[in-house]
Amino acid sequence: MNSMIYLSAIFGLVTIGLYCVTKRSMIRVLFGIEMILNAGNLAFIFFSAQGASAGMIDPIGQSIVFMSIVLGGCVVAVGLSLIVNAYKQFKTTDVRELRRLRW
Overall number of domains in the chain: 1
Q: Report pTM.
A: 0.83
Domain around 21: 3-100
Query: What is the pLDDT, as a whole number, of residue 103?
Result: 58
Over residues 44-101, the pLDDT tens digits come to 888 888 766 666 777 888 889 999 999 999 999 999 999 999 899 888 888 888 777 6
Largest CA distance in the chain: 60
Query: What is the pLDDT, as a whole number, of residue 52?
Result: 66
CATH (domain of 35)? 1.10.287.3510
Query: What is the pLDDT, as a whole number, of residue 84?
Result: 93
CA 5 to each of CA 40, 43, 46, 52, 66: distance values in angstroms, whole numbers, following the listed order: 15, 12, 11, 18, 22
Burial label for 30, CB within 10 Å (0-12, 13-18, 19+), is: buried
